[in-house]
Amino acid sequence: MRPVKTHLFRHKRWRIHDSQYLRDGTLGECRYEDSRRKCPVLYIPTRGGTLEALDTIVHEALHACVELDEHGVSQTATSIAGLLWRLGWRKQDL
């Protein structure tokens, strides 16, 4: 499986980087502006297949899609990730 390098969120292209490159060890981050890049960047755990990784991916994707406060994004992401996990979502290396 080829790595995901970009993704469209609501008709806007975002670069995708693994969160391992974040300096402070956080699991994810959404950077709307980056002086070094032409499009915004989403840092997410691209290697992990845990519920925590799924929650982080959904959380950061929501930041890219809609303008919600941090509390609203956190609650929504956790709810969606919990449902996907219960439905059997697991990362598979192909």
pLDDT tens digits, one per residue of 25-65: 788 998 887 666 678 999 999 887 899 999 999 999 999 99
Give the model confidence (pLDDT) of 79-88 as tens digits. Answer: 999 999 999 9
Task: Considering only residues 68 and 63, tell me which one the structure prediction assigns the higher pLDDT.
Answer: 63
pLDDT score at 81: 93
**Burial class, 55, CB count within 10 angstroms (exposed 0-12 / middle 13-18 / buried 19+):** buried
14 strand-pairing partners:
7
pTM above 0.85, yes or no: no
